[in-house]
Amino acid sequence: MPVAWITHPDCLLHQMEEGHPESPLRLHAIQDRLMACGIDGFLLHAEAPEATPEQLQRVHTAEHVRFILNAPADPPQHLDPDTLFMRHTRRAALRAAGSGVQAVDMVLGGKASLAFCAVRPPGHHAERARAMGFCFFNNVAVAAAHALSRGLERVAILDFDVHYGNGTADIFQDDPRVLLCSTYGHPLYPYWAGSGDSASLIDVPLSPYSAGTAFRAAVTEHWLPALERFQPQMLLVSAGFDAHGADPLGNLRLGLDDYRWLGRLVQQLAEQCCEDRVVAMLEGGYDLTALARSVEAFLEPFMGGAL
């Protein structure tokens, strides 16, 4: 089955302040790299639809959805010190959230094994009732809720962004149908203090400058037993690549081999437990070269013999 690649030109329109790291250049860098290395020619390209209010309200409050749908962008609004609502933010955010719906439908419909959503703004910091940390709607949560609405009973979200996905935790921490497995740099934004006893949240903080050995041990020792117990029917991935050693916003030292290892692990897990169903959603990653090469490394194991 092919790998689907879901994006939309509207995701390039959202641009915050000059020099803001979460910029349209990120998607351009990924696209250029996939064309240069030949992967692009093997992808099944699809366009992201806009998410509907009903799909958004599965994970966000009606007030938050109304706010983003109606917020004035002139002048731009600071929703937090780093998160600006600009003229085209609404369009990009609706496409980013809609991409996950499309991805779930393609994977459940047997059209793709992995559906990768190359979209922005990212989503995993957006809480049920609040935009923050460059995020407006929680894209991976919208996708997970859509999968549940399509009849799945258990889905797992794997989040390896260097920043903890506080929004995804806020939305699903009391939902036994969703298992959220995370690794993250600590201490680092959003200064998550650990999830205590929640059975739905498996999170492993990593000390500053931790490299691949610590990351792989965290995944192997903490994620895998939880996934084995949970038996998810679909894997959703909050694919942030800012744990790469070159990232200007991260504090970890992952390398391309680690992202390739993780891609292979996710691919094998999906094959064993959930009929090859994987939906990946781009989150962070702010060094353009490292981001593009990390996405390539993550995708390689899914390309089978195509390359």
- 161 touches Zn ion (CB under 5 A): yes
- Nearest-angstrom CA–CA distance, 162 and 239: 10
For the stretch 119-143, what's the b/e string if a residue is b when 16 or more beta carbons lie within 10 angstroms of its beta carbon?
A: bbbbbbbbbeebbbbbbbbbbbbbb
Q: Tell me if the bond preceding 121 is cis, omega within 30° of 0.
A: yes
Interface pattern 270-289 for Zn ion (x via CB under 5 A): --------------x-----
- Residue number with CB closer to Zn ion (276 or 283): 283
Catalytic residue among 14, 125, 146, 244: 125
- Residue number with CB closer to Zn ion (8 or 163): 163
- 21 touches Zn ion (CB under 5 A): no
Is 125 known to be catalytic? yes
CB of 80 to Zn ion, least distance (A): 14
| Phi (first) and psi of residue 226, to 5 degrees | -65, -40
Residue ranges in 233-252 that form contacts with Zn ion under rule CB under 5 A = 240, 242
CB of 134 to Zn ion, least distance (A): 8
Query: How many residues at the interface with Zn ion, by CB under 5 A?
Result: 5
Beta strand ranges found along the chain (DSSP E) = 3-7, 43-47, 77-80, 83-85, 114-117, 155-159, 178-185, 201-206, 235-239, 278-282
- Residue number with CB closer to Zn ion (256 or 303): 256
Name which position in 163, 186, 253, 293 contacts Zn ion (CB under 5 A): 163
- Nearest-angstrom CA–CA distance, 284 and 249: 9
- 170 touches Zn ion (CB under 5 A): no
Instruction: Give helix 256-273 / helix 288-299 axis angle, nearest 10°.
Output: 30
Contact residues for Zn ion, defined by CB under 5 A:
161, 163, 240, 242, 284
> Which residues form the catalytic set?
125
